[in-house]
Amino acid sequence: MVNVYFLAILFSLIFLLAVVDLVRRRRLKEQYSLLWLLVGFLMLFLSLSRVNLEMLAAWLDIKYAPAMLFLFGLIFSFILILHLTVVISKMSERVVILTQEFAILREQLQEKQKVEKE
């Protein structure tokens, strides 16, 4: 019979393999892969050690220990989304600055070409 612990272990292993494959194919930067690998190993560790998972759940007053895995995943997802939003905001500012600088340089080039033609 398949239980939630087995599914958590299976998912963690598949997740870790997927992260390694994405890094290998250069689809995921190393700076993010370390974070994803850490989360994958943490989920695998908590899934493999049922006693530790249940002790931690009892300490946090969570009645159903496997639900804690999903809670950790949800918290991590929120933190990651916040981080990526900050990165996107910084990149948006840089795109605006680069676009403005490009427009200025293009205008200067056109002026220079216009002066050379005269």
- Residue-wise pLDDT tens digits, 86-117: 999 999 999 999 999 999 999 999 999 999 88
Cα atoms in the 13 Å half-sphere on the side-chain side of 43: 27
CA 17 to CA 89: how far, in whole Å? 31
Percentage of the chain surpassing pLDDT 90? 50
pTM over 0.85, yes/no = no
pLDDT score recorded for residue 98: 97
SS3 5: helix
pLDDT tens-digit readout, 50-97: 888 889 899 999 998 888 888 888 998 899 899 889 999 999 999 999
